Structure 1
Amino acid sequence: MPTYGTEESKRYAFKTYDIELKPLFSAFRPKALGTTGLRALLVNFLPLLEAYMKVEEDEDDEEDRPTETSPDFRLAFKRSGTHAFREVSVITVRRVLERIVVQVVSARTAWKLLKDVPKSAVRKARRHITKIELFTGVAKTTFRAHALGVGASCLVQEVLDIYRSGRVIYIHRQNPGRAKGNKKEIDVLHSLARRTAGNSLKAVASLTCASIGAGCGAVLIKPSTGTWIGLAVGDLAGAFLVGYCLDSWIYKTSSS
């Protein structure tokens, strides 16, 4: 006896999904690379410039006032390079994950994971649905479509943490007299485990807050711009809140 699916399953059975993959090395295009580099410089140099200007203004203060250390611009430049490298790596890893998803999962699932969230929010708003339905729909779409980006960021951060921990252990083994036994290596591995747990919690918080933020932005501001703003703010807020709460635990190091 033939079986008949629901109307929804019949509708999706004959639907074609247009999946457009972005270039694998899109992060290395001149415009994208320049934007990434400029953003990294601003993030790392603006606080130093502010501190430098404050020191200039306080030059005429009392002599017995404690002196402040001068801004380390060389360290800021190094951090800017690391920041830019990390962003480019995250985008490239995401492009790799997108291609893996297209090959592994069904076309419908890949289409959901690769959706453009602001454009999807605009299409939902044109259906004249209620604000609650719009919020729910945009939040669900964002949760799925933003998962690859969060996963790529978490993966890159984990690789960096493993590299740094391995480098510390290697240096320690080259200089065994600095600590007794394997205590230093055990402390480093414990720190890596805490960082891994913290990165996982940050990823979950970023994904959840980004979904909620995108839904709120689509309802309170406008489906296109509001969704983008809410997603970005929620993504940063989720990672910041978890990092602020767990900072002392994640980066805790035992005395050697």
Structure 2
Amino acid sequence: MLGVAASWVVQVSIEVYRFFISVFKSNDEDKEVDTPEQVRLLGQKIALTSIRCSSSLVFASIGAGIGATLILPSLGQWIGCAAGDLVGPIIVAFCADKAFQVTL
């Protein structure tokens, strides 16, 4: 859980940093930038990052349970947890892209 939380903090920090850099650069160059649109996109990116990280935890738990049932308890739990942790965000990202057709 700590690894996923750290990943979320880093990803959100990078997106917020990019947002502020783009806003400050646009003010320096006197270009018109749609700030409300930029804020909306930032909100979408943070929401998708939160969903991906949460799905990582959920799918890791599901994978650990399935792996412990199908394989030896300790080894199966480890393998299932790792597989769920890797596959969960991919499944959610794919479904989110299909459902929302977000252009980031």
- TMscore range, shorter length: 0.7 to 0.9
Which whole-Å CA distance do the structure 1 matches of 2:26 and 2:102 have between them?
19
The CA deviation at 1:187 is 1.8
1:175 to 2:26 alignment: no
Segments of structure 1 that go 5 or more residues without pairing to the other structure are 1-146
- Aligned partners of 1:231, 1:189: CA distance in 2, in Å? 35
Unaligned runs of 5+ in 2: none
Q: TM-score, normalised by structure 1?
A: 0.37
Deviation readout 1:182-224 (Å, 9 max, x if unpaired): 52x2222111100111112112211111001011111211223
The one of 60, 63, 78 aligned to 1:228: 78
Greater RCO, CA 8 A, separation 6+: 2
Give the paired residue count: 103
- 8 Å contact from structure 1 (residues 191, 250) kept in 2: no
For residues 25 and 70 of structure 2, the distance between their equivalents in structure 1, rounded to whole angstroms, comes to: 53
Contact 1:191 1:251 in 2 (8 A): no
Amino acid at match of 1:190: R
Structure with higher Rg: it is 1
Instruction: Report if the CA contact (8 A) 1:194-1:250 is conserved.
Output: no
- Aligned with 1:159 (options 13, 16, 25): 13
Q: Give SS of 1:176's match.
A: coil
SS at match of 1:224: helix
- In structure 1, which of residues 181, 192, 197 is the aligned counterpart of residue 47 of structure 2? 197
Q: Which amino acid aligns with 2:22?
A: V
Please give the per-residue CA displacement for 1:68-102, whole angstroms capped at 9, x wherever unaligned. Answer: xxxxxxxxxxxxxxxxxxxxxxxxxxxxxxxxxxx
Structure 1 runs of 4+ with >4 Å offset: 248-251
The answer to whether structure 1 residue 241 and structure 2 residue 91 are counterparts is: yes
Q: Give the letter for the 2:19 counterpart.
A: S
What TM-score, normalized to structure 2? 0.84
- Tell me by how many angstroms 1:167 deviates: 1.6
- Give secondary structure in 2 for the equivalent of 1:247: helix
Question: What residue identity is the alignment partner of 1:189?
Answer: V
Distance in 1, Cα, partners of 2:78 & 2:101:
30
Which residue of 2 is the match for residue 252 of structure 1?
103
Q: Tell me how far 1:229 sits from its aligned partner.
A: 1.4
SS in 2 for 1:252: coil
Question: How far off its partner does 1:251 sit?
Answer: 4.8
For 2:41 and 2:101, how far apart are their aligned partners in 1? 7
1:45-64 matches, within 5 Å, as: none
1:39-118 equivalences under 5 Å are none
